[in-house]
């Protein structure tokens, strides 16, 4: 169970004595095997604050992959670190708000608030109901203007609200606007005169919200990081859904911006159509491509296909095909194709001497790990020889494509 920090902990860790303690604890291994011995050592230095110091050093180490060197100076709670935005994503979002005076209604430990200030917003105010997180934000970013306030009780005038509600549910299921704290409908009711910008979990059922404006699904390095609900005043004209795809160009927390491209529902799209079931073999020699997850979550697969001269394998499935894969995108060159059967797949594996198998599926009951175990006997080739199996639905049939993956 994660350590629960108190205000006294934060005051101590922010002091000169706390800094000395953290420096001493930072020299300890703090592995699972050494933790009990390390806590004993830390108590000699920090007394009753030993657990807080150890937890802080462990969180700083975990945060380094997300925030880079800056994490070595900051204070975190485990939950706040988990929910915090990667800096590349926060900077991207902040650029869309750079011309607005903004009130971060749920500032937590201050990472998003600091990104807003750095992007050039004329005025940035941060607030949070949790006094511990607010004190951590003040330590992490002493330049920020911070107040303690409930997000559901307006504490400013004339500022555009921004909120990152906490996720109430940890099951991974699709969540609704009432599954966050504060609930999204409650925020919209309180700020009805000027709806706020909301950062929501990527799994949010944004269609059920029926919220005026634009939803932007943002991915970083192939993982969807957030769904931003932009109110009508900041939405692009004629745009309801946007996918923004970011790729890192440097270490976490680096000042250099990632490469980026975006797609919206206002872009041209292909007509919905799938491959005829009797033409599975026509894909041999073609490329199968799976768009970035942000594109899929934003339901912009057909727009992506139009932009890259691709077609749908099935009109209800996100796999696309064409004579060439988009530059910089991982694709799968089709070597063989047939109705799906384990025997057929085994024959392909043995024929090509494959020792390492990647299995991708959409729209079928195939479970890749289970299938891989069933095919273990066929995987007798050299492990440096890799193959990719793509299993998908084509109409009511399951089909298999035997592929070679290329970045």
Tell me how far apart the alpha carbons of residues 256 and 176 are, in angstroms, rounded to a whole number: 35
Q: Is pLDDT at 103 greater than 90 in this prediction?
A: yes
More confident residue, 273 or 216: 216
Average pLDDT over residues 256-271: 89
Q: Phi/psi zone of residue 328: left (φ > 0), alpha (ψ -120 to 50 degrees), beta?
A: left
Q: Is pLDDT at 315 greater than 90 in this prediction?
A: yes
At 63 the three-state DSSP class reads helix
At 18 the three-state DSSP class reads helix
Quick count: other Cβ atoms within 10 Å of Cβ 382? 10
Q: State the average pLDDT for the chain.
A: 94
Of the candidates 262, 388, 244, 283, the one whose C-alpha atom is nearest the C-alpha of residue 330 is: 388
More confident residue, 282 or 171: 282
Counting beta carbons within 10 angstroms of the beta carbon of residue 323, is it exposed (0 to 12), middle (13 to 18) or buried (19 or more)? exposed
- Percent of the chain past pLDDT 70, that is, above it, reads 95
Q: Phi/psi zone of residue 108: left (φ > 0), alpha (ψ -120 to 50 degrees), beta?
A: left
Q: What is the pLDDT of residues 14-72, one digit of tens each?
A: 999 999 999 999 999 999 999 999 999 999 999 999 999 999 999 999 999 999 999 99
Q: How confident is the model at residue 174 (pLDDT cuts 50, 70, 90)?
A: low
Helices marked H in 26-104 — which ranges?
35-46, 50-67, 78-83, 87-96
Q: Which of 181-185, 213-217, 218-222 has the lowest mean pLDDT?
A: 181-185
- What integer pLDDT is reported at residue 209 of this predicted model? 86
Tell me how far apart the alpha carbons of residues 243 and 269 are, in angstroms, rounded to a whole number: 14
Q: Phi/psi zone of residue 228: left (φ > 0), alpha (ψ -120 to 50 degrees), beta?
A: beta
Q: Is pLDDT at 167 greater than 90 in this prediction?
A: no
- What integer pLDDT is reported at residue 253 of this predicted model? 52
- What integer pLDDT is reported at residue 172 of this predicted model? 47
Contact present, 310 and 324 (Cβ < 8 Å): no
Cα angle: 268, vertex 269, 270; to 5 degrees: 140
- DSSP H or E segment with residue 218: strand 214-220
Q: What is the pLDDT of residues 264-312, one digit of tens each?
A: 999 999 999 989 878 899 999 999 999 999 999 999 999 999 999 999 9
Length of the chain measured in residues: 407
Average pLDDT over residues 192-201: 96
- What integer pLDDT is reported at residue 171 of this predicted model? 47
Tell me how far apart the alpha carbons of residues 308 and 310 are, in angstroms, rounded to a whole number: 6
């Amino acid at each position: 169970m994660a350590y629960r920090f108190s205000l006294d902990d934060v005051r101590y860790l922010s002091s000169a004595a706390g800094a000395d303690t953290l420096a001493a604890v930072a020299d300890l291994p703090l592995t699972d095997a050494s933790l009990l011995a390390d806590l004993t050592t830390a108590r000699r230095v920090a007394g009753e604050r030993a657990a807080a110091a150890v937890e802080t050093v462990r969180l700083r180490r975990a945060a380094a992959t997300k925030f880079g060197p800056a994490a070595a100076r900051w204070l975190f709670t485990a939950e706040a670190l988990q929910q915090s935005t990667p800096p590349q994503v926060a900077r991207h979002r902040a650029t869309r708000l750079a011309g607005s005076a903004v009130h971060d209604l749920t500032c937590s430990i201050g990472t998003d608030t600091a990104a807003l200030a750095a992007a050039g917003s004329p005025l940035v105010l941060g607030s949070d109901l949790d006094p511990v997180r607010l004190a951590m934000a003040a330590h992490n970013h002493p330049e920020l203007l911070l107040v303690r306030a409930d997000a559901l009780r307006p504490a400013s005038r004339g500022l555009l609200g921004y909120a990152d509600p906490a996720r109430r549910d940890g099951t991974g299921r699709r969540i609704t606007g009432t599954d966050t704290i504060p609930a999204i409908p409650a925020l919209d009711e309180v700020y009805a005169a000027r709806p706020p910008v909301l950062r929501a979990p990527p799994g949010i059922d944004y269609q059920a919200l029926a919220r005026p404006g634009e939803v932007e699904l943002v991915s970083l390095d192939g993982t969807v990081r957030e769904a931003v609900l932009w109110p009508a005043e900041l939405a692009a004209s004629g745009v309801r859904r946007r996918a923004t795809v970011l790729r890192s160009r440097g270490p976490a927390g680096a000042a250099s911006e990632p490469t980026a491209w975006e797609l919206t529902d206002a872009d041209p799209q292909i007509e919905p159509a799938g491959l005829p079931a009797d033409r599975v073999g026509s894909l041999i020699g073609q490329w199968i491509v799976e768009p970035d997850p942000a594109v899929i979550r934003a339901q912009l697969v057909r727009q992506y296909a139009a932009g890259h001269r691709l077609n749908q394998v099935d009109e209800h499935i996100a796999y696309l095909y064409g004579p060439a894969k988009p530059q910089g995108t991982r694709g799968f060159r089709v070597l063989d194709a047939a109705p799906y059967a384990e025997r057929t797949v085994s024959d392909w594996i043995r024929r090509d001497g494959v020792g390492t198998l990647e299995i991708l599926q959409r729209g079928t009951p195939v479970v890749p790990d289970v299938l891989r175990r069933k095919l273990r006997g066929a995987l007798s080739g050299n492990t440096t020889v890799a193959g990719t199996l793509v299993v998908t639905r084509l109409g009511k049939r399951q089909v298999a494509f035997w592929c070679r993956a290329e970045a």
